[in-house]
């Protein structure tokens, strides 16, 4: 039976639309669209008028919706973002700066993290995964332990889990260690909002993280830009909210906020059922195709094919899938990533299985070279390098120069080299692998 769930933002907007007042406020479309498929969105696209609450001072319909979300995820408090996970990461790091914590971060961080460090002038001690590769790798509790033991001041650990390929860190064990050292654990859970709703709750907050950010839109049915910060301790929420206000637009999109509100209803009544059905269909797909494809381990909704081990390059397999009407998320020489969510129609997975089964390529593994992450010395702070005078040069001419800024292709948006680091031969190999041909270097 469906449970009655309040959707306070949506309900407010629908009342407003039904009352059809004369709109003497922003936005300029005044509730009237320009036709086409977007027409029904315009009337709902309001701004922070009295009664609609205000995201960064929420105490009305937005605050109520956030409380509903916190109850669903089991967090102490939730703070919404209509500026994606990017804004959440900026807010979490601002809080760490205010607490004067040093930051240890997994090297596979998204470029959003780096940009926030540049803006906030943070220095980072990088933690390298055991297998020392760029996109995905196991961050062992031992690595975390050694980092925390070495810290000379209050610290925080920042991890990305699930990572881009779906790999998961042992958050429970790492959280335990953090508590032992009085350090805070922050998790970029952009790829894992659904983890709260499986048979075992694997959401970082349930496993002991202090702060984590979820993208509602990446793995749940919500509009792009919908995200939130979860606080284990509700007393952290005001600091997170005020930090968000420093970076976020003063005109947050009510369409995005409303989509989170409606997603709360979905999470109450339907997500567990859908998640179980889709997860089991994906499992079956992997089982049925196991002679033909090697699938990487990790979160079930990341269908990550180790293409090279099956005789394809990820990019060639991806290009072929597109000719068959399947759009992938990301492909490189080694991998192909197909992302699902609890809202993926089962019929789409039937079609995907059919298409994959008919893949025409040979089945001889392509030798791939695992490129280890270089650990070049950092000669300038990230901020100094990012704001220094710089020039773009072909990567072959960049050896020995200091990286000013990397704009890795998005996805996966994990920078092979960090601003301030000296570029060496190993870095060039990695840049080439990710098809980055030019790089900004500091001109001194
Ligand atoms: C792991 C990770 N973190 C953060 C982000 C940034 O999220 P958003 O684009 O919602 O701001 C992304 C985007 O893809 C991501 O994959």
> Is the distance from the beta carbon of residue 81 to the nearest atom of ligand 1 less than 6 Å?
no
Nearest Cα residue to atom 14 of ligand 1: 411
- The C-alpha angle 110, 213, 246, rounded to 5 degrees, equals 85
Strand intervals (E) in 184-297? 184-189, 211-215, 227-231
Q: What is the pLDDT of residues 167-215, one digit of tens each?
A: 999 999 999 999 999 999 999 999 999 999 999 999 999 999 999 999 9
Do 298 and 411 have their domain in common? no
* Per-residue confidence (pLDDT) for residue 363, from 0 to 100: 62
Average pLDDT over residues 310-331: 94
* Per-residue confidence (pLDDT) for residue 188, from 0 to 100: 98
Do 285 and 405 have their domain in common? no
Do 187 and 241 have their domain in common? yes
Query: Where do we find the tokens 């993208």?
Result: 215
Report the C-alpha gap between 212 and 232 in whole angstroms.
9
* Per-residue confidence (pLDDT) for residue 432, from 0 to 100: 87
Report the C-alpha gap between 355 and 419 in whole angstroms.
42
Average pLDDT over residues 370-384: 87
Question: Which atom belonging to ligand 1 lies closest to the Cα atom of 227?
Answer: 10
Query: What is the number of domains present in the chain?
Result: 3
pLDDT tier, 431 (very low <50, low <70, confident <90, very high otherwise): confident
Do 105 and 175 have their domain in common? yes
Report the C-alpha gap between 135 and 334 in whole angstroms.
11
Domain-embedded: residue 285: yes
> Is the distance from the beta carbon of residue 227 to the nearest atom of ligand 1 less than 6 Å?
yes
Q: Provide the CATH number for the domain around residue 288.
A: 3.90.1150.150
Report the C-alpha gap between 414 and 109 in whole angstroms.
6
Q: Provide the CATH number for the domain around residue 145.
A: 3.40.640.10
Mean pLDDT across the chain? 94
> Is the distance from the beta carbon of residue 302 to the nearest atom of ligand 1 less than 6 Å?
no
Do 251 and 323 have their domain in common? no
> Is the distance from the beta carbon of residue 112 to the nearest atom of ligand 1 less than 6 Å?
yes
Do 223 and 97 have their domain in common? yes
Do 212 and 104 have their domain in common? yes
- DSSP β-ladder status, 403-405 and 335-339: unpaired
Closest CA to 253 of 42, 20, 39, 22: 42
Domain-embedded: residue 366: no
> Is the distance from the beta carbon of residue 428 to the nearest atom of ligand 1 less than 6 Å?
no
Contacts for 251 with CB less than 8 Å, ≥ 6 apart: 26, 27, 47, 48
Pocket test for ligand 1, best of 84, 163, 164, 337 (most atoms within 8 A of CB): 84
Give the range of the structural domain holding residue 283, as residue numbers without chain letter.
274-357
Q: Provide the CATH number for the domain around residue 404.
A: 3.90.105.10
Closest CA to 155 of 180, 118, 121, 129: 180
Domain-embedded: residue 376: no
Range with the largest mean pLDDT of 83-87, 135-139, 366-370: 83-87
**What's this model's pTM, rounded to 2 decimal places?**
0.96
Do 247 and 294 have their domain in common? no
pLDDT tier, 321 (very low <50, low <70, confident <90, very high otherwise): very high
Contacts for 20 with CB less than 8 Å, ≥ 6 apart: none
């Amino acid at each position: 039976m469906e449970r009655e769930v309040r959707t306070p933002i949506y309900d407010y907007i629908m009342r407003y639309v039904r009352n059809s007042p004369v709109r003497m406020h922003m936005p300029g479309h005044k509730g009237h669209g320009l036709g086409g498929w977007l027409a029904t969105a315009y009337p709902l696209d309001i701004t922070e008028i009295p009664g609609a609450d205000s995201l960064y001072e929420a105490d009305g319909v937005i605050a109520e919706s956030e409380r509903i979300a916190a109850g669903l995820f089991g967090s102490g408090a939730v703070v919404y973002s209509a500026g994606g996970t990017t804004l959440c990461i900026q807010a979490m790091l601002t809080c760490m700066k205010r607490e004067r914590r040093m930051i240890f971060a997994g090297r596979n961080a998204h470029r959003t993290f780096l940009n926030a460090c540049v803006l906030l002038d943070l220095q980072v001690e990088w933690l390298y995964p055991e297998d020392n590769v760029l996109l995905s790798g196991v961050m062992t509790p031992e690595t975390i332990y050694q980092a925390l033991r070495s810290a000379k001041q209050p610290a925080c650990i920042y991890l990305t889990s699930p990572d881009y390929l779906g790999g998961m860190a042992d958050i429970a064990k790492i959280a335990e260690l953090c508590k032992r050292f009085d350090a805070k654990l922050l998790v970029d859970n952009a790829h894992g909002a659904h983890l709260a709703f499986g048979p075992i709750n694997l959401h970082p907050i349930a496993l002991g993280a202090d702060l984590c950010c979820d993208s509602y839109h990446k793995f749940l049915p919500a509009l792009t830009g919908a995200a939130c910060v979860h606080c284990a301790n509700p007393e952290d929420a005001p600091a997170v909210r005020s930090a968000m206000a420093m970076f976020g637009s003063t005109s947050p999109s009510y369409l995005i906020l409303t989509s989170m509100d409606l997603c709360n209803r979905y999470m109450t009544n339907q997500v567990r059922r859908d998640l179980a059905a889709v997860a089991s269909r994906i499992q079956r797909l992997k089982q049925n195709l196991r002679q033909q494809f090697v699938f990487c381990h990790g979160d079930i909704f990341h269908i990550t094919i180790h293409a090279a081990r099956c005789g394809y390059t990820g990019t060639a397999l991806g290009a072929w899938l597109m000719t068959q009407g399947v759009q992938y998320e990301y492909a490189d020489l080694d991998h192909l990533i197909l992302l699902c969510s609890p809202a993926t129609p089962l019929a789409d997975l039937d079609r995907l299985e059919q298409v994959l089964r008919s893949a025409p390529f040979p089945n001889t593994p392509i030798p791939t070279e695992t490129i280890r992450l270089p650990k070049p010395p950092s000669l300038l702070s990230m901020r100094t390098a990012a704001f220094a005078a710089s020039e773009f040069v072909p990567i072959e001419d960049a050896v020995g120069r200091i990286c000013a800024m990397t704009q890795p292709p998005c996805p996966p948006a994990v920078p092979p080299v960090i601003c301030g680091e000296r570029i060496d031969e190993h870095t060039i190999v990695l840049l080439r692998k990710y098809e980055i041909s030019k790089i900004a270097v500091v001109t001194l």
